[in-house]
Structure 1
Amino acid sequence: MAFQLSAPPRILAIHAHPDDIEILCAGTLALLKKRGCEIVMASMSPGDKGSAELGPDEIAAVRRKEGAKAASLLGVHYMCLEFRDLCIDVNDESRKKVTEALRKAQPDIVLTAPPVDYMGDHEATSRLVRDACFSAAVPNYYTEQWDPAPLTKKIPALYYMDPIEGVDWYGNPVPSDFVVDISETFETKLQMLACHASQRDWLKRQHGMDEYLDSCRRWSARRGAELGVAYGEGFRQHRGHPYPHDNVLLELLNG
């Protein structure tokens, strides 16, 4: 049976920290928004450990505002699941939290972190979101929330974004299943990423990297070159049993 999209199609993009989505799939989200999709952007944590000057509560407040501002540029909703940096663990309590987020969003398509990436928060996010896509439709899986959202009607189509810099733990390239041409929305992607000024300051101090926007431009250009276009974003589809096999994301983007 062919996978049926809602009308309008509903998209959930969920990654570990504020700015991960902007780096890895904001151009695709902007295209989907142009095609009339309803979109939710979610971060697992509020980036509470991403500062040497501000305490956890203070920097988290800053970064929530930056995430909401970036989402507002697309006219979409942003939410934070309120995990804490470096503390995203794969366990039942976490799975219930992410499952509740899936039920609130009711997505047809989910975009999330890849299974292998440079840090544990990203990898735990990938595992939890994969599990939640399955469990959100299970009637007897209770999230134990005060006002629980209804079950999802189906397992959504699940896609993994690129790992940071497109490499695994050993620096080996991680291939994509397909690349989306984001040339027409790339400037919107950069504007969204530029909203995360506090993250740029943190990366400069912690990683010695003061080229936040330029590194995004370079990576997007590398993926775009695979299609022969200016800028691109790569994705892999989760096709394990019983997740949808139809590439509905690419079909939707192609009209």
Structure 2
Amino acid sequence: MANVVLAALAHPDDAEFLCAGVLLRLKREHGWEIHVATMTPGDCGSAEHSPEEIARIRRAEGAAAAAAIGATYHCLEERDLRVIYNEPALEKAVRLINQVKASVVITHSPDDYHLDHEQTSKIVRAATFAAPIPNFLHGRHTHPPIDHIPHVYYCDPLEGKDAFGQPIKPAFRIDVTKVMDGKAAMLACHESQRAWLRKHHGVDNLVDSMKEWSTTQGKAAGVPFAEGYRQHLGHSYPQDNLLGKLLGTV
């Protein structure tokens, strides 16, 4: 399988907030091909624009953020607050994994504050299992099934806690200090979200919030900035920590 990482998350700016440091390091240090996908185009992320207009804006922001590191952006065109584990969404995710031939897939924590995140996590988990199975899309493949289940990793949930406020600790952390400027530049491409998050989430600056969380994880690991991850280690999934081998853990 080629060296391809797919970050498949719910909304535009999720990957940039949660896992762009690892994407940047894989690209710069190992020459990996990078793909960033969102389940939705962020169509509810505005109090000013219509769903169609903010979706258009946010697709463009997602594409610009990906292009900043030579990555490719994809949108699976589900809708905000309507991401559901169902057959159409699962098929879209399987087709994308087979299209890009992902060898590593990064997605949301199974437990998170946002149901779109949790449903995306379930969809992507199921899609990584289904993608190598010829009979799953029997006779309807647009790309051949991948050879085997890819490595699957879960990002930190936002603020590192579940819906009950209980901490979810990463299994390992990766130092992203040297790529923090690039991660911040990617996140800054999502200009439309500053006003929205200020209104709805009470977050005044998305980039500063990302740096604060990266600092929290970095402090736990003895480095300036870090990202936390857990690997899916269920039966039939790869058991070796490929990200850890390539990038080191702290």
TM-score, structure 1 length as denominator? 0.94
| 1:141 paired residue number | 136
Could you tell me whether the CA contact under 8 Å between 1:100 and 1:143 is conserved in 2? no
Matched, 1:91 2:86: yes
| 1:166 paired residue number | 160
Q: Show structure 2 runs of 5+ residues with no match.
A: none
Q: C-alpha distance in 2, partners of 1:30/1:154?
A: 25
Matched, 1:234 2:228: yes
| 2:110 paired residue number | 115
| 2:63 paired residue number | 68
| 1:57 paired residue number | 52
Deviations 1:140-198 (A, max 9, x none): 111886x7111011100000000011111111111001100000000111110010011
Could you tell me whether the CA contact under 8 Å between 1:114 and 1:126 is conserved in 2? yes
Could you tell me whether the CA contact under 8 Å between 2:203 and 2:209 is conserved in 1? no
Could you tell me whether the CA contact under 8 Å between 1:162 and 1:235 is conserved in 2? yes
Matched, 1:101 2:96: yes
Q: C-alpha distance in 2, partners of 1:44/1:210?
A: 25
Deviations 1:14-57 (A, max 9, x none): 10000000000111110000111011111110001111111111
Name the aligned partner's letter for residue 33 of structure 1.
Answer: K
Partner residue of 1:20 out of 11, 14, 18: 14
Q: Show structure 1 runs of 5+ residues with no match.
A: 1-5
Task: Name the CA shift for 1:18/1:59 in 2 (closer, same or farther; >3 Å).
Answer: same
Could you tell me whether the CA contact under 8 Å between 1:97 and 1:143 is conserved in 2? no
Q: C-alpha distance in 1, partners of 2:182/2:15?
A: 13
Q: C-alpha distance in 1, partners of 2:152/2:178?
A: 24
Q: C-alpha distance in 2, partners of 1:130/1:139?
A: 17
Q: C-alpha distance in 2, partners of 1:148/1:72?
A: 25
Task: Name the CA shift for 1:203/1:151 in 2 (closer, same or farther; >3 Å).
Answer: same
How is 1:164-203 mapped onto 2 (pairs within 5 angstroms)? 164-203=158-197
Name the aligned partner's letter for residue 10 of structure 1.
Answer: V
| 1:3 paired residue number | none
Name the aligned partner's letter for residue 130 of structure 2.
Answer: S
| 1:129 paired residue number | 124
Task: Name the CA shift for 1:138/1:190 in 2 (closer, same or farther; >3 Å).
Answer: same
Matched, 1:31 2:25: yes
| 2:243 paired residue number | 249
Q: C-alpha distance in 2, partners of 1:154/1:201?
A: 43
Q: Between Structure 1 and Structure 2, how many residues are aligned?
A: 248
Q: C-alpha distance in 2, partners of 1:62/1:228?
A: 38
| Paired-residue identity, % | 47
The offset of 1:105, in angstroms, is 1.5
The offset of 1:91, in angstroms, is 1.3
Q: C-alpha distance in 2, partners of 1:212/1:94?
A: 28
Q: CA RMSD in A?
A: 1.4
Q: C-alpha distance in 2, partners of 1:143/1:209?
A: 46
Name the aligned partner's letter for residue 31 of structure 2.
Answer: G
Task: Name the CA shift for 1:119/1:143 in 2 (closer, same or farther; >3 Å).
Answer: farther
Over 6 Å off, 4+ runs: none
Deviations 1:60-89 (A, max 9, x none): 000001001100110111111111101111
Q: Secondary structure at the match of 1:246?
A: coil
Q: C-alpha distance in 2, partners of 1:94/1:17?
A: 14
Could you tell me whether the CA contact under 8 Å between 1:33 and 1:39 is conserved in 2? yes
Q: Secondary structure at the match of 1:236?
A: strand
